[in-house]
Amino acid sequence: MIFWEIAKRNIRIHLLRSTLAMLGIVIGVVAIASMGILGNSLVSTVSESLKSVGDSVIVTPYSGGGGGFGGGGGSSSVSLKITEQNFQQIKRVSAPNTAIPVYSTSDHMKIGVGSDDIVAAIYALPSDDVPDMMKLQSGGYNNGNSGCLVGATFAKDHNIKVGSRIAIGTDGSKGTLRVTGIIEERGMSFDISTDSALVVTPEWFENAYDRNKDYDEVVVKVMDGDTATVKTNIEKQLNKRKDNKVVSVMDSKATLATIYATFGTVTTFVTAIGGISMLVAGVSIFNIMMMSVNERIKEIGIMRSIGTQKKEVMRMFIYEAAIIGVVGSVIGGILSVLAGYAISALMFKTTKYLLTVANALSVTEGVTFGIVICLVCGIYPAWKAANMNPIDALRHE
């Protein structure tokens, strides 16, 4: 069609001007799409870190509002615990899901003779429940009373292997444990963070730290039903009195949803910042289209006088804006994938999250927005051109 041809030739004849306008769109698309890719990659990275969270409900002693569990009066120095009686209640209301009582502390320890004194977290949970909570990368679960499991990061940092010995307590006062297994990396989690910790038996823990069925937390692994219902049941059972709550209950699924929603908001925000550059590019397109119209007033007058309809004149200018928009946006889309690759490689040290549906959508959004902005910014100049009085346009010098 002749108007498409005229639009193309007009862009070609004003190549520098058109290229600069396209550059604005390219920058806008790259800003929007790469910000989207950054946000999506961030979410993917966090998801990867939290993949071990699974569906669980974490019950800890209530520490807020001045009340306290275990006879405390609200002082921060009071040690809050979950009693065996409360654990049994949690177990009952959570059934048939597994409720796992967990001891936790941190202590000094030494690995091997003459090594530096280090401090690390120590967890204790029933041996039968350990396979439900974690997987091993080497060794075995059956750690016996003087055996322990160590986290992957801890093992790597301190060159610990299956069979290594760890003296617990200052100068080994709590005894020596033999490493029977290395726990697979679990990443961030809401229940227990084992990557840099030790996992021992409850019997050893109770003996070493003089504890007796007063747990630091209870983890309910939800296999049947949903986490929200389990959470509600526990709260109903244990926090009957609003002014004297016994436990705090966290639903891992809901917490994850909140985290993802927060990341979603952050992604939207940074993408919106990218959108500002697109608006600036839109103003530039508008300006260039107005220049194009003003330069061609006489041409418009000739066209109208020899029988060109208003809509055809309008179409010619819209084509021009569309060519700038499509070419600029597509180039921007390609560059944003490259920018996303660079961002992923530099910030997250991996590009495995690049080729995802979410990132494809971000690039598509950026490209679509670029094209739409160009078309919208081309509408008024095109309308102005189409509605010129042909006589005035013909007389224009």
Partner 1 sequence: MEPVIKFEDVVKVYPLKSGDVTALDHVSFAVEKGEFISIMGPSGSGKSTLLTLMGCLDSPTSGNIFMGGIPVRNMSDVELTNLRRDRIGFIFQYFNLFPLLNIIENVSFPEMLKSGRGVKEDRAREVLRAVQLDESLYTHTPLELSGGQQQRVAIARALINNPDILLCDEPTGNLDSKTGASIMELMTELNRNGSTIIVVTHDSNVAKYTSRTIQIVDGCIAS
Binding interface with partner 1 (CB under 8 A): 1-2, 5-6, 9-10, 13, 298-299, 302-310, 312, 390-391, 394
- Nearer to partner 1 among residue 79 and residue 305 (C-beta): 305
Helix axes 15-49, 357-386, angle to 10 degrees: 150
Closer CB to partner 1, residue 309 or residue 350? Answer: 309
Nearest to partner 1 of 299, 365 (CB atom): 299
Q: What residue spans of the chain are helical by DSSP H?
A: 2-13, 15-49, 84-94, 130-133, 152-157, 202-209, 227-238, 252-295, 297-305, 310-343, 357-386, 390-395
Tell me which residue of 378, 331, 320, 312 sits closest to 23, measured CA to CA: 331
Look up tokens 């804006």; give the residue: 321
Q: 210 or 397: whose CB is closer to partner 1?
A: 397
Q: Could you tell me the smallest distance in angstroms from the CB atom of residue 385 to partner 1?
A: 15
Identify which of residues 137 and 309 has a Cβ nearer to partner 1 in the complex.
Answer: 309
Under DSSP, the state recorded for 145 is T
The verdict on whether omega for the bond into residue 202 sits within 30 degrees of 0, i.e. cis, is: no
Alpha-carbon 261 to chain mean position: 9
Q: What's the closest the beta carbon of residue 304 comes to partner 1, in angstroms?
A: 7
Tokens of 331: 């180039």
**Min separation Cβ 19 and partner 1, Å:** 18
Complex with partner 1: residue 197 or 314, whichever CB lies closer: 314
For residues 281 and 316, which CB has a smaller minimum distance to partner 1 in the complex? 316
Give strand pairing partners of 121.
Answer: 106, 197
Q: Is the CB of 12 or the CB of 92 nearer to partner 1?
A: 12
Q: What angle do CA 317, 322, 328 make, to 5 degrees?
A: 135
Q: Angle at Cα 299 formed by Cα 295 and Cα 301, nearest 5°?
A: 115
The least distance separating partner 1 from the CB of residue 282, rounded to whole angstroms, comes to 26
CB 62, CB 248: distance < 8 Å: yes
Quote the CA–CA distance of 151 and 121 in Å, as a whole number. Answer: 10
Closer CB to partner 1, 316 or 371, in the complex: 316
Smallest distance from partner 1 to CB 388, Å? 12
Alpha-carbon span 253 to 379, nearest angstrom? 47
Minimum CB separation of residue 298 from partner 1 in Å reads 7
Q: Helix, strand, or coil here: 249?
A: strand
DSSP for 171-201? GGTTEEEEEEEEEPP--S-SS---TTEEEE-
Distance spanning both ends of the chain, measured CA to CA:
28
From the CB of 303, what's the least distance to partner 1, in Å?
A: 8
Chain centroid to Cα 321, Å, comes to: 37
Decide if 344 contacts 44 (C-beta within 8 A): no
Query: Is the Cβ of residue 313 or residue 343 nearer to partner 1 in the bound state?
Result: 313
Q: Residue 397 CB, nearest distance to partner 1 (Å)?
A: 10
Location of structure tokens 């095109």: 382
